[in-house]
Amino acid sequence: MRRRSAPVSVPADPVLTDLTPDQRLRRLELTVTRRLDGLLHGERRGLLPGPGSEPAGSREYRPGEDEVRRMDWAVTARTTVPHIREVEADRELTTWVLVDASPSMEYGTAELDKRELAVAAVATIGFLTAGPGNRLGAQVLTPYGLHRVPARGGRTHLIGLLRGLLAAPRVGGHDADTAPMPDAADLADALAAVHRVANRSGLVVVISDFLDGLPDDPRQPAAWERPLRRLSVRHQVLAVEVTDPRELELPDVGLITLADPETGERREVWTGDQRLRERYAAAAAAQRDQVRHAVRRSGATHLALRTDRDWAADIVRHVHAQRRLAAAPAGPQRGGAA
C-alpha cells in the first residue's frame, strides 16, 4: 500500500523517521534503558525463560504447554506421574537475530514504519541480552541478498549493527544504488542460513511480517514453517511479528492506490464501499491467524508488535507473561522429584 503524503511541517518532538541514524540510535537506547532497565535480573540470563544446559530438577508435565522430548522418564517411572526436566539458562548466551528487510517491511503509516520497528526490536533484544560473555549475531534478509553479521559481544558491536540496519538502502529510495537480485533469498532460506551458523544452543529471534511464503490456502503450511521448526528443536526461538494498522483495516478515505511492495503491482480501490472494508478486515484477520498458528506449530514463542502501539510496553508485557508462565506452580506434587 502506498503511503499518503502529508503536509510538510517541523514537529516539536521529531519522530524516529525525522532523525539521522546516530540520533535515532541515541533515542532508541534511551527508550530501552528507561522503559526496560531492570526487567532481566542477573547478568547472564536470556530474554525469555527456557531451555539451557544446567540441570535444575523436574516438575509435573503440563499437557499442551510442555514438549514431550523434555520428559524426565526416570522421575516419571518413580512417581507414576509424568514429569519433565527443568534446566537453568546457559551461563553464556549467544543470540542470533534474523531481520526481515524485504520491501514489505518498508511500509508504515504510524510514527515508525515496519522496518524501523524491527530495528527497535533488535535494539531491545541487544540491550536486554547484553552481558559478560554474551554474543549477538544477525542475518539480514534484503532484496539485494542475505547479509550476515558475525556474533560478537559488546556495546560497540550492537551499535554498529543497529547503525547498519538504519542506514541500509531501501527499494525505490534515493539511497538504493543497486538493483534488487531477481533470485534473492526468501524467509525460508534465511532461516536455513541461521540454522547453519547457530551451532550452539541459544536464543534465535526472527523479526518479520511473515508474509513471505504464506500460502493462499490456510490448510497448507507456510514455506518458512519447516525451517522455523528445525530451529526450535535446538534453540529458544522468539518470532516477532510486525504489522501496521492499515494492513489490518482500510479507512474510509475515498479512492486510494494499493501497491504490492514485492512486485510493484498497483490497483485503485474505492474505500467508501463498506462491504469491501469489511471483507478486507476479515481477510487480514484470517491472514494474521494463519501466521500465529504456523508460528505456534513450529514451537516458537510468538510476539506481535504494531507500528501504532507502544512497542516497549508490549515487549515488557510479553517477557513478564513468559516469566510468570515459567514460574507458575505445577500443582500439588505426587511423590518426590529428582
Q: Are 203 and 108 in contact (CB under 8 A)?
A: no
Q: CA–CA separation, 83 vs 337, rounded Å?
A: 8
For 95-131, how does the pLDDT look when each residue is reduced to its tens digit (9 = 90+)? 999 999 988 898 888 888 899 899 999 988 888 787 7
pLDDT at 314 over 90: no
For residue 102, give the C-alpha cell: 524485504
Asked if the model's pLDDT at residue 246 lies above 70, the reply is yes
Nearest to 97 by CA among 130, 124, 137, 128: 137
Domains along the chain with CATH numbers = 54-88 (no CATH), 91-327 (3.40.50.410)
> How are beta strands 54-60 and 83-88 bridged, if at all?
antiparallel
What CA–CA distance (Å, rounded) separates 86 from 60? 10
Band of residue 12 on the pLDDT scale cut at 50, 70, 90: very low
State whether the Cα torsion 34-36-42-43 is positive or negative: negative
Q: Please, which pLDDT band fits residue 306 given cuts at 50, 70 and 90?
A: very high
In which band, very low, low, confident or very high, does the pLDDT at 279 lie, cut at 50, 70 and 90?
A: very high
The whole-number pLDDT of residue 1 equals 42
Give the pLDDT confidence score for residue 66 in this predicted structure: 74
Cα 336 from Cα 3, distance rounded (Å): 61
Q: Which tens digit of pLDDT belongs to each residue from 15-42? A: 555 566 677 777 777 777 776 665 544 4
CA distances to 123, 131, 152, 237, 251 from 23, in Å: 14, 24, 24, 31, 33
| pLDDT score at 176 | 47
- The answer to whether the beta carbons of residues 228 and 239 sit under 8 Å apart is yes
Angle at 263 between CA 180 and CA 175, to 5 degrees: 40
pLDDT for the residue numbered 117: 92
pLDDT band at 329 (very low <50, low <70, confident <90, very high): low
> What pTM, to 2 d.p., does this model score?
0.75
Distance CA(86)–CA(170), nearest Å, equals: 44
Structure confidence by residue, pLDDT tens digits, 148-202 = 999 999 888 998 898 888 877 777 554 445 555 556 678 999 999 999 999 888 8
Which whole number is the average pLDDT over 236-246?
94
190: number of CA atoms within 13 Å, CB side?
A: 32
Q: How far is CA 149 from CA 44, 123, 144, 196, in A?
A: 22, 15, 15, 14
Cβ burial of 12 (10 Å; 0-12, 13-18, 19+) is exposed
Nearest-CA neighbor of 204 among 275, 137, 130? 137
Tell me the average pLDDT across 288-297.
95
Res. 301: pLDDT tops 80 = yes
| Arithmetic mean of pLDDT over the chain | 79
Question: Looking at residue 4, what is its pLDDT?
Answer: 39
C-alpha to C-alpha distance for 99 and 12, rounded to whole angstroms: 31
Residue 285, pLDDT score: 94
Query: What pLDDT, in 10s, does the model give residues 123-159?
Result: 888 887 877 788 999 999 988 889 999 999 988 899 8
Quickly count: other Cβ atoms within 10 Å of residue 121's Cβ.
23
* pLDDT for position 10: 35
pLDDT tens-digit map of 201-239: 889 999 999 998 888 888 899 999 999 999 999 899 999
Which candidate, 157, 168, 89, places its Cα nearest to that of 123?
157
Which of 267, 250, 249, 271 is closest to 258 using CA atoms? 267
What band does 45 get if pLDDT is binned at 50, 70 and 90? Answer: very low
